[in-house]
Amino acid sequence: MTAIDREHLVDLLSATHSKTRAILKGIDLDIQVYDDGGWRIRDILGHIATWDRQVSLSLRAFSSGTEYAIPEFDEEAFNIEDVRRQVSLTSQQVFEEWEMARELFKDAVREIPQDRFPGDLLYPWGDERGTVVKLVKEMCDHDEEHYSEISRAIEASLET
């Protein structure tokens, strides 16, 4: 992987993040997105930030020749606990955490030694391995999925 390829991955991360940031201008982050779980926009932003930090930990471990995975990972329990942990934060704090976590993710991609890029790394959820490129693309897809959900929730709130 060349430096240009690495910057392409960083650009992908920036693009999906910027797309979401653009639809949030002037929007109340307390708008409900999921009826069944009670998640609001702010909860989804916090969720994305948490995963950006977890992926950063995996990438940094990979860069140093070790591995990282969330201990005893249960996706549903992890996500529920993550939302609970963020309840005491203001919407502004959640937004700032979301911004900061994406920067950590991009920095972790930039810091991977050139000779490590073609390698196989353990993803933070612990039951999957793959390349840095595949992981970044999966996380961009994750962003896109949540972007769509947030976008629909914003549209629905404007109709009422």
Q: Which pLDDT does position 112 carry in this prediction?
A: 92
Is pLDDT of 2 > 70? no
DSSP string, 62-112: HHTT-----TT--HHHHHHHHHHHTTTS-HHHHHHHHHHHHHHHHHHHHTS
User: Cα(71)–Cα(142) distance, rounded to whole angstroms?
Assistant: 22
Q: How far is the C-alpha of 34 from the C-alpha of 43, rounded, in Å?
A: 10
Residue of 109, 155, 83, 159 lying closest to 8 (CA atoms):
109
Amino acid 35: pLDDT:
80
Phi and psi at 117, nearest 5°, equal -55, -40
| pLDDT digits 0-9 by tens, 87-104 | 999 999 999 999 999 999
The pLDDT of residue 158: 87
pLDDT bucket at 3, cuts 50 / 70 / 90: low
- pLDDT classification of 1: cutoffs 50, 70, 90: low
pLDDT average, residue stretch 26-37? 89
Q: What are 125's two structure tokens? A: 């959820």
pTM, full prediction = 0.94
Mean pLDDT score, 8-34:
96
pLDDT tens for 36-84 read 768 999 999 999 999 999 999 999 999 999 999 999 999 999 988 998 9
Which residue has tokens 């609001």?
40
Helices 91-110/3-24 angle, 10° precision: 170
| pLDDT tens per residue across span 104-142 | 999 999 999 988 888 899 999 999 999 999 999 999 999
